[in-house]
Chain A
Amino acid sequence: MTSCATDRSALPVVKGVAYFLAHVPGMVRHGSKPSREIEKDPSLLPQVVGHLWRFDQAVAYPPNQVFIGNLDPDDLLKKIPPPWFQYAVPHASRWGSFGEIMPEDEFYGIMKICDQFGLLSLEEGFAQGVADKLKTHPLITAEDLARVAKGIPLEQIKAKLANAETIPVYVQGTELVGCVERPQGGGAEDDPNLLPEFLIENLASRASGVMALRHLIKSTGRAEDIDYLLGCGEEAVGDRYNRGGGNMAKAIGELSGCVRATGSDVKAFCCAPVHALVLAASLVTSRIFGNVVVAAGGSFAKLGMKFQGHLRRNMPILEDVLAGAAIWIAPDDGQSPVIRLDSIGKHEISSGSSQQAIMEKLVVEPLDRLGLKLTQVDKYATEMHNPELTEPQGSGNVPRTNYRTIGSFAVLRNEIKREELDHFVEVHGMPGFSPTQGHIASAIPVLGHAVKKMRDGAMANTMFLAKGSLFLGRVTQLSDGISFLLEKNKGVKS
Protein backbone atom coordinates (compact mmCIF):
# COMPACT_ATOMS: atom_id res chain seq x y z
CA MET A 1 0.00 0.00 0.00
CA THR A 2 2.89 2.31 0.71
CA SER A 3 4.17 1.82 -2.81
CA CYS A 4 0.78 2.92 -4.15
CA ALA A 5 1.24 6.26 -2.48
CA THR A 6 4.58 6.83 -4.14
CA ASP A 7 3.68 5.45 -7.57
CA ARG A 8 0.66 7.48 -8.60
CA SER A 9 0.33 5.90 -12.03
CA ALA A 10 -0.85 2.75 -10.27
CA LEU A 11 -3.49 4.45 -8.16
CA PRO A 12 -6.94 3.08 -9.00
CA VAL A 13 -9.52 5.67 -9.99
CA VAL A 14 -13.22 5.57 -10.79
CA LYS A 15 -13.15 6.68 -14.40
CA GLY A 16 -16.87 6.36 -15.06
CA VAL A 17 -20.19 5.24 -13.61
CA ALA A 18 -23.47 4.34 -15.35
CA TYR A 19 -26.87 3.25 -14.14
CA PHE A 20 -29.88 1.78 -15.86
CA LEU A 21 -33.51 1.37 -14.85
CA ALA A 22 -36.09 -0.70 -16.71
CA HIS A 23 -39.65 0.14 -15.77
CA VAL A 24 -41.33 -3.28 -15.86
CA PRO A 25 -44.77 -3.10 -14.24
CA GLY A 26 -45.87 -6.13 -16.27
CA MET A 27 -43.26 -8.23 -14.45
CA VAL A 28 -44.24 -7.19 -10.93
CA ARG A 29 -46.68 -10.11 -10.71
CA HIS A 30 -43.72 -12.47 -11.32
CA GLY A 31 -41.62 -11.08 -8.47
CA SER A 32 -41.03 -13.62 -5.71
CA LYS A 33 -43.42 -12.15 -3.14
CA PRO A 34 -46.27 -11.17 -5.50
CA SER A 35 -46.19 -14.51 -7.32
CA ARG A 36 -46.39 -16.47 -4.08
CA GLU A 37 -49.18 -14.33 -2.66
CA ILE A 38 -51.19 -14.27 -5.91
CA GLU A 39 -50.98 -18.06 -6.08
CA LYS A 40 -52.46 -18.26 -2.57
CA ASP A 41 -55.10 -15.61 -3.26
CA PRO A 42 -55.81 -14.96 -6.97
CA SER A 43 -58.08 -12.02 -6.06
CA LEU A 44 -54.87 -10.06 -5.37
CA LEU A 45 -53.96 -9.95 -9.05
CA PRO A 46 -56.48 -7.26 -10.07
CA GLN A 47 -55.38 -5.19 -7.08
CA VAL A 48 -51.74 -5.52 -8.12
CA VAL A 49 -52.53 -4.59 -11.72
CA GLY A 50 -54.66 -1.66 -10.52
CA HIS A 51 -51.74 -0.20 -8.58
CA LEU A 52 -49.15 -0.26 -11.36
CA TRP A 53 -47.69 2.93 -12.74
CA ARG A 54 -47.43 4.13 -16.34
CA PHE A 55 -43.96 4.76 -17.78
CA ASP A 56 -44.29 8.56 -17.65
CA GLN A 57 -45.12 8.33 -13.93
CA ALA A 58 -42.06 6.18 -13.24
CA VAL A 59 -39.85 8.61 -15.18
CA ALA A 60 -41.17 11.58 -13.20
CA TYR A 61 -40.71 9.82 -9.83
CA PRO A 62 -38.07 11.91 -7.98
CA PRO A 63 -35.96 9.02 -6.60
CA ASN A 64 -35.70 7.54 -10.12
CA GLN A 65 -34.51 10.91 -11.41
CA VAL A 66 -31.87 10.96 -8.65
CA PHE A 67 -30.80 7.43 -9.64
CA ILE A 68 -30.06 8.38 -13.24
CA GLY A 69 -28.37 11.64 -12.27
CA ASN A 70 -30.90 14.33 -13.13
CA LEU A 71 -31.44 15.28 -9.48
CA ASP A 72 -29.08 15.32 -6.50
CA PRO A 73 -29.82 12.99 -3.55
CA ASP A 74 -30.09 16.00 -1.24
CA ASP A 75 -32.85 17.43 -3.45
CA LEU A 76 -35.08 14.79 -1.84
CA LEU A 77 -34.22 16.26 1.54
CA LYS A 78 -34.28 19.95 0.76
CA LYS A 79 -36.50 20.53 -2.26
CA ILE A 80 -39.06 17.74 -2.56
CA PRO A 81 -41.02 16.87 0.57
CA PRO A 82 -42.38 13.33 0.87
CA PRO A 83 -44.45 11.55 -0.23
CA TRP A 84 -42.30 11.65 -3.33
CA PHE A 85 -44.69 9.48 -5.31
CA GLN A 86 -47.19 12.32 -5.22
CA TYR A 87 -44.71 14.71 -6.83
CA ALA A 88 -43.97 14.46 -10.54
CA VAL A 89 -40.67 16.06 -11.57
CA PRO A 90 -41.56 18.67 -14.22
CA HIS A 91 -40.29 17.90 -17.73
CA ALA A 92 -38.68 14.70 -16.46
CA SER A 93 -36.58 12.88 -19.05
CA ARG A 94 -35.89 9.16 -19.43
CA TRP A 95 -32.29 10.16 -20.19
CA GLY A 96 -29.94 11.14 -17.40
CA SER A 97 -26.29 12.02 -17.03
CA PHE A 98 -25.63 8.50 -15.67
CA GLY A 99 -27.93 6.46 -17.92
CA GLU A 100 -31.63 6.02 -18.62
CA ILE A 101 -35.02 4.70 -17.60
CA MET A 102 -36.35 2.35 -20.28
CA PRO A 103 -40.01 1.38 -20.83
CA GLU A 104 -40.98 -2.28 -20.52
CA ASP A 105 -41.69 -2.95 -24.19
CA GLU A 106 -38.20 -1.80 -25.18
CA PHE A 107 -36.72 -3.78 -22.29
CA TYR A 108 -38.37 -6.97 -23.53
CA GLY A 109 -36.55 -6.21 -26.78
CA ILE A 110 -33.26 -6.02 -24.87
CA MET A 111 -34.08 -9.34 -23.19
CA LYS A 112 -34.67 -10.81 -26.63
CA ILE A 113 -31.28 -9.48 -27.76
CA CYS A 114 -29.78 -11.34 -24.78
CA ASP A 115 -31.67 -14.56 -25.51
CA GLN A 116 -29.32 -16.93 -27.31
CA PHE A 117 -31.32 -20.08 -26.55
CA GLY A 118 -34.82 -19.23 -27.77
CA LEU A 119 -36.22 -18.95 -24.25
CA LEU A 120 -38.24 -15.76 -24.79
CA SER A 121 -40.88 -15.60 -27.51
CA LEU A 122 -42.51 -12.29 -28.41
CA GLU A 123 -45.71 -11.81 -30.38
CA GLU A 124 -44.81 -10.87 -33.96
CA GLY A 125 -46.58 -7.51 -34.15
CA PHE A 126 -45.27 -6.51 -30.74
CA ALA A 127 -41.74 -7.60 -31.64
CA GLN A 128 -41.80 -5.55 -34.84
CA GLY A 129 -43.12 -2.52 -32.96
CA VAL A 130 -40.34 -2.83 -30.37
CA ALA A 131 -37.73 -3.15 -33.11
CA ASP A 132 -39.11 0.02 -34.73
CA LYS A 133 -38.90 1.88 -31.40
CA LEU A 134 -35.37 0.68 -30.67
CA LYS A 135 -34.16 1.90 -34.08
CA THR A 136 -33.77 5.36 -32.58
CA HIS A 137 -32.05 4.17 -29.40
CA PRO A 138 -28.42 5.36 -29.44
CA LEU A 139 -27.06 2.13 -27.95
CA ILE A 140 -28.87 -0.40 -30.16
CA THR A 141 -27.21 -1.80 -33.29
CA ALA A 142 -28.62 -3.23 -36.51
CA GLU A 143 -27.48 -6.67 -35.34
CA ASP A 144 -29.50 -6.18 -32.16
CA LEU A 145 -32.59 -5.18 -34.11
CA ALA A 146 -32.42 -8.30 -36.27
CA ARG A 147 -32.66 -10.40 -33.10
CA VAL A 148 -35.69 -8.50 -31.80
CA ALA A 149 -37.84 -8.28 -34.90
CA LYS A 150 -38.58 -12.00 -35.31
CA GLY A 151 -41.77 -12.75 -33.40
CA ILE A 152 -44.38 -15.51 -33.51
CA PRO A 153 -48.20 -15.43 -33.76
CA LEU A 154 -50.14 -14.87 -30.54
CA GLU A 155 -51.82 -18.26 -30.97
CA GLN A 156 -48.44 -19.96 -30.70
CA ILE A 157 -47.66 -18.08 -27.51
CA LYS A 158 -51.01 -19.13 -26.05
CA ALA A 159 -50.27 -22.71 -27.03
CA LYS A 160 -46.89 -22.58 -25.29
CA LEU A 161 -48.65 -21.32 -22.17
CA ALA A 162 -50.61 -24.56 -22.00
CA ASN A 163 -47.45 -25.86 -20.32
CA ALA A 164 -47.82 -24.75 -16.69
CA GLU A 165 -44.08 -24.05 -16.38
CA THR A 166 -44.13 -21.44 -19.17
CA ILE A 167 -44.21 -17.87 -17.87
CA PRO A 168 -46.43 -15.30 -19.62
CA VAL A 169 -45.00 -11.87 -20.42
CA TYR A 170 -47.32 -8.86 -20.24
CA VAL A 171 -47.25 -5.15 -20.97
CA GLN A 172 -49.51 -2.61 -19.31
CA GLY A 173 -50.17 -5.17 -16.61
CA THR A 174 -52.48 -7.47 -18.58
CA GLU A 175 -51.71 -7.43 -22.31
CA LEU A 176 -50.09 -10.74 -23.27
CA VAL A 177 -47.12 -10.17 -25.59
CA GLY A 178 -44.84 -13.15 -25.04
CA CYS A 179 -43.64 -15.99 -22.85
CA VAL A 180 -40.52 -17.59 -21.42
CA GLU A 181 -40.28 -21.36 -21.61
CA ARG A 182 -38.02 -24.17 -20.49
CA PRO A 183 -35.28 -25.11 -22.97
CA GLN A 184 -35.40 -28.55 -24.55
CA GLY A 185 -32.66 -31.09 -25.10
CA GLY A 186 -29.56 -32.15 -23.26
CA GLY A 187 -31.49 -33.01 -20.14
CA ALA A 188 -32.92 -29.51 -19.77
CA GLU A 189 -36.43 -30.97 -19.86
CA ASP A 190 -36.22 -32.12 -16.26
CA ASP A 191 -33.54 -29.84 -14.81
CA PRO A 192 -34.96 -27.89 -11.83
CA ASN A 193 -32.34 -25.17 -12.31
CA LEU A 194 -33.51 -24.44 -15.85
CA LEU A 195 -37.08 -23.62 -14.93
CA PRO A 196 -38.46 -20.56 -16.73
CA GLU A 197 -38.77 -18.74 -13.39
CA PHE A 198 -34.97 -18.83 -13.05
CA LEU A 199 -34.23 -18.28 -16.73
CA ILE A 200 -36.34 -15.11 -16.85
CA GLU A 201 -34.40 -13.83 -13.81
CA ASN A 202 -31.12 -14.45 -15.58
CA LEU A 203 -32.32 -12.91 -18.85
CA ALA A 204 -33.55 -9.79 -17.02
CA SER A 205 -30.32 -9.55 -15.05
CA ARG A 206 -28.19 -9.87 -18.17
CA ALA A 207 -30.30 -7.38 -20.12
CA SER A 208 -30.19 -4.69 -17.43
CA GLY A 209 -26.46 -5.30 -16.96
CA VAL A 210 -25.82 -5.01 -20.70
CA MET A 211 -27.64 -1.68 -20.86
CA ALA A 212 -25.73 -0.31 -17.86
CA LEU A 213 -22.43 -1.39 -19.45
CA ARG A 214 -23.33 0.08 -22.85
CA HIS A 215 -24.12 3.40 -21.16
CA LEU A 216 -20.80 3.24 -19.31
CA ILE A 217 -18.87 2.60 -22.51
CA LYS A 218 -20.64 5.47 -24.26
CA SER A 219 -19.79 7.90 -21.47
CA THR A 220 -16.35 6.65 -20.47
CA GLY A 221 -14.20 4.81 -23.00
CA ARG A 222 -13.79 2.17 -25.68
CA ALA A 223 -15.25 -1.29 -25.12
CA GLU A 224 -12.15 -2.93 -26.57
CA ASP A 225 -9.99 -1.28 -23.89
CA ILE A 226 -11.73 -3.21 -21.11
CA ASP A 227 -9.49 -6.04 -19.90
CA TYR A 228 -11.58 -7.61 -17.18
CA LEU A 229 -15.21 -7.62 -16.03
CA LEU A 230 -16.35 -8.37 -12.51
CA GLY A 231 -20.01 -9.32 -12.14
CA CYS A 232 -21.61 -8.71 -8.78
CA GLY A 233 -25.32 -9.49 -9.18
CA GLU A 234 -27.42 -11.84 -7.07
CA GLU A 235 -28.61 -14.09 -9.89
CA ALA A 236 -27.53 -17.74 -10.01
CA VAL A 237 -26.72 -18.92 -13.52
CA GLY A 238 -26.15 -22.63 -13.96
CA ASP A 239 -27.75 -26.03 -14.45
CA ARG A 240 -28.32 -28.83 -11.95
CA TYR A 241 -24.65 -29.66 -11.69
CA ASN A 242 -23.45 -26.09 -11.14
CA ARG A 243 -26.15 -24.00 -9.50
CA GLY A 244 -24.83 -20.43 -9.27
CA GLY A 245 -21.87 -21.17 -11.54
CA GLY A 246 -21.95 -17.72 -13.27
CA ASN A 247 -20.20 -16.06 -15.29
CA MET A 248 -22.69 -13.25 -15.85
CA ALA A 249 -19.83 -10.75 -16.18
CA LYS A 250 -18.61 -12.31 -19.39
CA ALA A 251 -22.17 -12.72 -20.71
CA ILE A 252 -22.78 -8.99 -20.17
CA GLY A 253 -19.47 -8.07 -21.81
CA GLU A 254 -20.19 -10.29 -24.83
CA LEU A 255 -23.08 -8.06 -25.85
CA SER A 256 -21.28 -4.81 -25.16
CA GLY A 257 -18.34 -5.07 -27.55
CA CYS A 258 -15.80 -6.03 -24.86
CA VAL A 259 -13.93 -8.30 -27.26
CA ARG A 260 -10.65 -8.26 -25.31
CA ALA A 261 -12.15 -8.85 -21.89
CA THR A 262 -12.59 -11.89 -19.77
CA GLY A 263 -14.24 -11.84 -16.39
CA SER A 264 -15.79 -13.56 -13.42
CA ASP A 265 -18.48 -13.01 -10.81
CA VAL A 266 -18.06 -11.96 -7.20
CA LYS A 267 -20.69 -13.52 -4.94
CA ALA A 268 -21.29 -11.87 -1.58
CA PHE A 269 -25.01 -11.10 -1.44
CA CYS A 270 -25.74 -7.36 -1.32
CA CYS A 271 -22.17 -6.30 -0.62
CA ALA A 272 -20.75 -8.01 -3.72
CA PRO A 273 -20.46 -4.72 -5.66
CA VAL A 274 -18.24 -3.11 -3.03
CA HIS A 275 -16.15 -6.31 -2.76
CA ALA A 276 -15.89 -6.22 -6.56
CA LEU A 277 -14.79 -2.57 -6.56
CA VAL A 278 -12.03 -3.34 -4.05
CA LEU A 279 -10.89 -6.28 -6.19
CA ALA A 280 -11.07 -4.21 -9.37
CA ALA A 281 -8.98 -1.47 -7.78
CA SER A 282 -6.46 -4.08 -6.66
CA LEU A 283 -6.18 -5.56 -10.16
CA VAL A 284 -5.52 -2.09 -11.58
CA THR A 285 -3.04 -1.11 -8.88
CA SER A 286 -1.09 -4.34 -9.34
CA ARG A 287 -1.08 -3.68 -13.10
CA ILE A 288 -2.49 -7.14 -13.77
CA PHE A 289 -5.21 -5.41 -15.79
CA GLY A 290 -5.39 -1.82 -16.98
CA ASN A 291 -9.13 -1.32 -17.23
CA VAL A 292 -11.54 -3.28 -15.06
CA VAL A 293 -15.31 -2.86 -15.08
CA VAL A 294 -17.65 -3.87 -12.27
CA ALA A 295 -21.14 -4.60 -13.60
CA ALA A 296 -24.44 -6.00 -12.40
CA GLY A 297 -27.97 -6.30 -13.65
CA GLY A 298 -31.12 -6.14 -11.59
CA SER A 299 -32.85 -8.44 -9.15
CA PHE A 300 -35.99 -9.82 -10.80
CA ALA A 301 -37.09 -11.66 -7.64
CA LYS A 302 -37.31 -8.41 -5.68
CA LEU A 303 -39.91 -6.82 -7.95
CA GLY A 304 -42.96 -5.99 -5.84
CA MET A 305 -41.30 -7.30 -2.67
CA LYS A 306 -43.25 -4.85 -0.43
CA PHE A 307 -46.39 -4.74 -2.56
CA GLN A 308 -48.67 -5.65 0.34
CA GLY A 309 -47.66 -2.54 2.25
CA HIS A 310 -48.17 -0.43 -0.86
CA LEU A 311 -51.65 -1.89 -1.39
CA ARG A 312 -52.51 -1.33 2.27
CA ARG A 313 -51.67 2.35 1.89
CA ASN A 314 -53.39 2.52 -1.49
CA MET A 315 -50.22 3.80 -3.08
CA PRO A 316 -48.64 2.67 -6.36
CA ILE A 317 -46.52 -0.49 -6.24
CA LEU A 318 -43.23 1.33 -6.52
CA GLU A 319 -40.96 -1.69 -6.75
CA ASP A 320 -41.58 -1.80 -10.47
CA VAL A 321 -38.07 -1.25 -11.82
CA LEU A 322 -35.08 -3.45 -12.54
CA ALA A 323 -31.78 -1.67 -11.95
CA GLY A 324 -28.33 -2.11 -13.43
CA ALA A 325 -24.98 -0.50 -12.69
CA ALA A 326 -21.54 -0.44 -14.30
CA ILE A 327 -18.36 1.16 -12.94
CA TRP A 328 -15.04 1.61 -14.75
CA ILE A 329 -11.86 1.35 -12.67
CA ALA A 330 -8.65 2.52 -14.35
CA PRO A 331 -5.14 3.75 -13.53
CA ASP A 332 -4.76 7.32 -12.30
CA ASP A 333 -5.64 9.93 -14.89
CA GLY A 334 -5.02 12.90 -12.63
CA GLN A 335 -8.73 13.78 -12.58
CA SER A 336 -10.95 10.91 -11.54
CA PRO A 337 -11.57 10.16 -7.85
CA VAL A 338 -9.21 7.68 -6.22
CA ILE A 339 -10.13 4.48 -4.38
CA ARG A 340 -7.79 4.52 -1.39
CA LEU A 341 -6.58 0.98 -0.95
CA ASP A 342 -5.19 1.84 2.47
CA SER A 343 -8.74 2.60 3.61
CA ILE A 344 -10.39 -0.80 3.20
CA GLY A 345 -12.60 -1.82 6.08
CA LYS A 346 -13.66 -5.43 6.34
CA HIS A 347 -16.05 -7.37 8.51
CA GLU A 348 -13.94 -10.30 9.62
CA ILE A 349 -15.15 -13.82 10.40
CA SER A 350 -14.45 -13.15 14.06
CA SER A 351 -16.01 -9.67 14.11
CA GLY A 352 -19.43 -10.62 15.45
CA SER A 353 -22.82 -9.69 14.10
CA SER A 354 -23.93 -6.69 16.15
CA GLN A 355 -24.36 -3.44 14.27
CA GLN A 356 -21.77 -1.88 16.56
CA ALA A 357 -19.22 -4.54 15.63
CA ILE A 358 -19.97 -4.24 11.94
CA MET A 359 -19.79 -0.45 11.84
CA GLU A 360 -16.66 -0.43 13.96
CA LYS A 361 -14.94 -2.61 11.38
CA LEU A 362 -16.31 -0.83 8.32
CA VAL A 363 -16.10 2.79 9.46
CA VAL A 364 -14.19 3.41 12.67
CA GLU A 365 -11.15 1.18 12.17
CA PRO A 366 -10.34 2.37 8.64
CA LEU A 367 -10.73 6.02 9.58
CA ASP A 368 -8.52 5.52 12.65
CA ARG A 369 -5.93 3.97 10.37
CA LEU A 370 -6.05 7.04 8.12
CA GLY A 371 -6.02 9.46 11.03
CA LEU A 372 -9.42 10.85 10.07
CA LYS A 373 -12.38 11.76 12.26
CA LEU A 374 -15.84 10.52 11.35
CA THR A 375 -16.78 14.15 10.75
CA GLN A 376 -14.00 14.51 8.18
CA VAL A 377 -15.84 12.25 5.75
CA ASP A 378 -18.10 14.42 3.61
CA LYS A 379 -20.70 11.74 2.93
CA TYR A 380 -21.29 8.12 3.81
CA ALA A 381 -22.81 5.84 1.18
CA THR A 382 -24.58 2.97 2.86
CA GLU A 383 -27.65 0.88 2.07
CA MET A 384 -29.52 3.42 -0.07
CA HIS A 385 -32.97 1.82 -0.15
CA ASN A 386 -35.74 4.32 -0.78
CA PRO A 387 -37.71 4.51 2.53
CA GLU A 388 -40.90 5.20 0.61
CA LEU A 389 -40.69 1.59 -0.60
CA THR A 390 -39.75 -0.03 2.71
CA GLU A 391 -41.65 1.88 5.40
CA PRO A 392 -45.18 0.89 4.28
CA GLN A 393 -44.28 -2.75 4.91
CA GLY A 394 -42.73 -2.01 8.31
CA SER A 395 -39.12 -2.37 7.19
CA GLY A 396 -38.12 1.08 8.39
CA ASN A 397 -35.82 3.69 6.93
CA VAL A 398 -32.68 1.64 6.35
CA PRO A 399 -30.28 4.44 5.34
CA ARG A 400 -31.32 6.60 8.29
CA THR A 401 -30.81 3.70 10.71
CA ASN A 402 -27.31 3.20 9.36
CA TYR A 403 -26.49 6.92 9.46
CA ARG A 404 -27.65 7.15 13.06
CA THR A 405 -25.42 4.20 13.97
CA ILE A 406 -22.43 5.90 12.33
CA GLY A 407 -23.34 9.18 14.04
CA SER A 408 -23.54 7.39 17.39
CA PHE A 409 -19.89 6.47 17.03
CA ALA A 410 -19.14 10.16 16.47
CA VAL A 411 -20.96 10.87 19.76
CA LEU A 412 -19.09 8.11 21.60
CA ARG A 413 -15.80 9.49 20.31
CA ASN A 414 -16.72 13.02 21.42
CA GLU A 415 -16.58 14.32 17.85
CA ILE A 416 -20.13 15.62 18.13
CA LYS A 417 -22.59 16.16 20.98
CA ARG A 418 -25.52 13.80 21.43
CA GLU A 419 -27.95 16.56 20.43
CA GLU A 420 -26.03 17.04 17.17
CA LEU A 421 -26.82 13.51 15.95
CA ASP A 422 -29.68 14.57 13.67
CA HIS A 423 -27.46 17.27 12.18
CA PHE A 424 -24.72 14.68 11.57
CA VAL A 425 -27.22 12.47 9.74
CA GLU A 426 -28.40 15.39 7.61
CA VAL A 427 -24.91 16.60 6.71
CA HIS A 428 -23.05 13.30 6.30
CA GLY A 429 -25.96 11.17 5.11
CA MET A 430 -28.59 11.49 2.42
CA PRO A 431 -32.10 10.19 1.79
CA GLY A 432 -32.40 6.71 0.36
CA PHE A 433 -33.26 6.90 -3.32
CA SER A 434 -32.49 3.46 -4.71
CA PRO A 435 -35.05 0.89 -5.75
CA THR A 436 -34.99 -2.15 -3.45
CA GLN A 437 -32.82 -4.09 -5.85
CA GLY A 438 -30.55 -5.76 -3.29
CA HIS A 439 -26.94 -5.49 -4.39
CA ILE A 440 -27.66 -2.44 -6.54
CA ALA A 441 -29.02 -0.49 -3.57
CA SER A 442 -25.95 -1.22 -1.49
CA ALA A 443 -23.82 1.96 -1.49
CA ILE A 444 -23.08 2.06 -5.22
CA PRO A 445 -26.00 4.32 -6.28
CA VAL A 446 -24.05 7.16 -4.62
CA LEU A 447 -20.91 6.55 -6.67
CA GLY A 448 -22.02 8.48 -9.75
CA HIS A 449 -22.98 11.53 -7.71
CA ALA A 450 -19.77 11.39 -5.66
CA VAL A 451 -17.57 11.12 -8.76
CA LYS A 452 -19.35 14.07 -10.36
CA LYS A 453 -18.99 16.24 -7.26
CA MET A 454 -15.34 15.34 -6.72
CA ARG A 455 -14.53 16.11 -10.34
CA ASP A 456 -16.33 19.45 -9.92
CA GLY A 457 -14.38 20.16 -6.74
CA ALA A 458 -17.55 20.20 -4.65
CA MET A 459 -16.63 17.21 -2.47
CA ALA A 460 -13.42 15.88 -0.93
CA ASN A 461 -14.31 12.30 -0.06
CA THR A 462 -17.05 9.71 0.44
CA MET A 463 -16.95 6.46 2.36
CA PHE A 464 -18.73 3.51 0.72
CA LEU A 465 -19.85 0.71 3.00
CA ALA A 466 -21.97 -2.29 2.21
CA LYS A 467 -23.39 -5.13 4.25
CA GLY A 468 -24.35 -8.63 3.18
CA SER A 469 -26.82 -11.06 4.72
CA LEU A 470 -24.93 -14.31 4.29
CA PHE A 471 -27.30 -16.09 6.68
CA LEU A 472 -30.13 -15.95 4.10
CA GLY A 473 -28.61 -18.93 2.29
CA ARG A 474 -28.77 -21.09 5.43
CA VAL A 475 -25.12 -22.00 5.09
CA THR A 476 -23.61 -19.76 7.75
CA GLN A 477 -24.95 -17.40 10.40
CA LEU A 478 -22.27 -14.89 9.47
CA SER A 479 -22.83 -11.34 8.34
CA ASP A 480 -20.55 -9.61 5.90
CA GLY A 481 -19.41 -6.13 5.04
CA ILE A 482 -16.69 -4.15 3.30
CA SER A 483 -15.89 -0.48 2.84
CA PHE A 484 -13.53 1.95 1.16
CA LEU A 485 -12.90 5.67 1.00
CA LEU A 486 -13.19 7.46 -2.32
CA GLU A 487 -11.15 10.63 -2.49
CA LYS A 488 -10.92 13.59 -4.81
CA ASN A 489 -7.95 13.30 -7.16
CA LYS A 490 -5.16 15.62 -6.17
CA GLY A 491 -4.31 16.06 -9.83
CA VAL A 492 -0.59 15.36 -9.75
CA LYS A 493 -0.46 12.43 -12.15
CA SER A 494 3.09 11.36 -12.85
Chain B
Amino acid sequence: MELKGKKVIILGERDGVQGPAIAACVTSAGAEPVLVQTQCFV
Protein backbone atom coordinates (compact mmCIF):
# COMPACT_ATOMS: atom_id res chain seq x y z
CA MET B 1 0.00 0.00 0.00
CA GLU B 2 1.23 3.47 -0.88
CA LEU B 3 1.08 5.52 2.33
CA LYS B 4 2.61 8.73 0.99
CA GLY B 5 0.16 11.63 1.34
CA LYS B 6 -2.45 9.57 3.19
CA LYS B 7 -4.02 10.53 6.49
CA VAL B 8 -3.86 7.69 9.01
CA ILE B 9 -5.88 6.78 12.10
CA ILE B 10 -3.69 4.69 14.39
CA LEU B 11 -4.90 2.33 17.10
CA GLY B 12 -2.03 0.64 18.88
CA GLU B 13 -2.01 -1.98 21.61
CA ARG B 14 0.00 -1.94 24.82
CA ASP B 15 1.30 -5.51 24.61
CA GLY B 16 1.58 -5.48 20.82
CA VAL B 17 2.63 -2.48 18.76
CA GLN B 18 1.93 0.84 20.45
CA GLY B 19 0.46 3.89 18.71
CA PRO B 20 3.59 6.08 18.69
CA ALA B 21 5.64 3.24 17.16
CA ILE B 22 3.12 2.87 14.32
CA ALA B 23 3.01 6.66 13.92
CA ALA B 24 6.79 6.76 13.52
CA CYS B 25 6.58 4.11 10.79
CA VAL B 26 3.78 5.73 8.78
CA THR B 27 5.35 9.18 9.11
CA SER B 28 8.60 7.85 7.70
CA ALA B 29 6.57 6.49 4.79
CA GLY B 30 5.16 9.95 4.08
CA ALA B 31 1.74 9.61 5.72
CA GLU B 32 0.17 11.96 8.23
CA PRO B 33 -1.14 10.45 11.49
CA VAL B 34 -4.36 12.30 12.38
CA LEU B 35 -5.22 10.25 15.46
CA VAL B 36 -2.80 8.17 17.53
CA GLN B 37 -4.12 6.06 20.36
CA THR B 38 -2.84 3.10 22.33
CA GLN B 39 -5.27 0.78 24.04
CA CYS B 40 -4.59 -1.41 27.05
CA PHE B 41 -6.86 -4.43 27.03
CA VAL B 42 -6.04 -5.62 30.53
Which A positions have Cβ atoms within 8 angstroms of B? 270, 352-355, 383, 385, 390, 393-396, 398, 401-402, 436, 438, 441, 467, 469, 471-472, 477, 479
Which B positions have Cβ atoms within 8 angstroms of A? 14-21, 36-38, 40-42
Contact (Cβ within 8 A) A353 B15: no
By beta carbon, the residue of chain B nearest A353 is B18
Contact (Cβ within 8 A) B36 A355: no
Q: Answer whether A355 and B15 are a contact pair too, CB < 8 Å, given A477-B20, A477-B36.
A: yes
Shortest B32–chain A CB gap in Å is 17
**What chain A residues lie within 8 Å of B16 (beta carbons)?**
355, 396, 401
Alpha-carbon gap, A98 to B42, bound state (A): 24
**Contacting B18 at CB < 8 Å: which of A270, A383, A479?**
A479
9 more A-B residue pairs beyond the given contacts A467-B14, A472-B40, with a C-beta to C-beta distance below 8 A = A352-B20, A353-B18, A353-B19, A355-B17, A383-B15, A396-B41, A401-B16, A441-B42, A471-B38
**Contacting A477 at CB < 8 Å: which of B15, B17, B38, B40?**
B38
By beta carbon, the residue of chain A nearest B36 is A477
Main DSSP-derived SS at the A contact region: mixed
**What chain A residues lie within 8 Å of B15 (beta carbons)?**
355, 383, 396, 398, 401-402, 467
**What chain B residues lie within 8 Å of A471 (beta carbons)?**
19, 37-38
**What chain A residues lie within 8 Å of B18 (beta carbons)?**
353-355, 479
**What chain B residues lie within 8 Å of A395 (beta carbons)?**
41-42
Contact (Cβ within 8 A) B42 A354: no
Alpha-carbon gap, A436 to B21, bound state (A): 26
**What chain B residues lie within 8 Å of A396 (beta carbons)?**
15-16, 41
Contact (Cβ within 8 A) B41 A477: no
**Contacting A354 at CB < 8 Å: which of B21, B40, B41?**
B21
Contact (Cβ within 8 A) B17 A469: no
Contact (Cβ within 8 A) B21 A390: no
Alpha-carbon gap, A393 to B21, bound state (A): 24
By beta carbon, the residue of chain A nearest B42 is A385
Contact (Cβ within 8 A) A438 B19: no
Alpha-carbon gap, A235 to B41, bound state (A): 18
**What chain B residues lie within 8 Å of A477 (beta carbons)?**
19-20, 36, 38
Shortest A466–chain B CB gap in Å is 12
**What chain A residues lie within 8 Å of B19 (beta carbons)?**
353, 471, 477
**What chain A residues lie within 8 Å of B36 (beta carbons)?**
477
Shortest A472–chain B CB gap in Å is 6
Contact (Cβ within 8 A) A353 B20: yes
By beta carbon, the residue of chain B nearest A352 is B21
Contact (Cβ within 8 A) A469 B21: no
Q: Answer whether A479 and B14 are a contact pair too, CB < 8 Å, given A353-B20, A354-B21.
A: yes
**What chain A residues lie within 8 Å of B41 (beta carbons)?**
390, 393-396, 398
- Interface-centre pick from A354, A401, A479 (highest chain B CB count, 10 A): A354
By beta carbon, the residue of chain A nearest B38 is A471
Q: Answer whether A469 and B40 are a contact pair too, CB < 8 Å, given A355-B15, A401-B15, A479-B14.
A: yes
Contact (Cβ within 8 A) B42 A390: yes
**What chain B residues lie within 8 Å of A479 (beta carbons)?**
14, 18
A-B pairs with lowest CB-CB distance, top 4: A395-B41, A469-B40, A353-B18, A354-B21
Alpha-carbon gap, A441 to B42, bound state (A): 9
**What chain B residues lie within 8 Å of A467 (beta carbons)?**
14-15
Alpha-carbon gap, A321 to B24, bound state (A): 39
By beta carbon, the residue of chain B nearest A436 is B42
Contact (Cβ within 8 A) A354 B17: yes
By beta carbon, the residue of chain B nearest A394 is B41
**Contacting A383 at CB < 8 Å: which of B17, B20, B21, B42?**
B42
By beta carbon, the residue of chain B nearest A305 is B42
**What chain A residues lie within 8 Å of B14 (beta carbons)?**
467, 469, 479
Shortest B5–chain A CB gap in Å is 24
Shortest A367–chain B CB gap in Å is 21
Alpha-carbon gap, A371 to B34, bound state (A): 44
Alpha-carbon gap, A436 to B19, bound state (A): 23
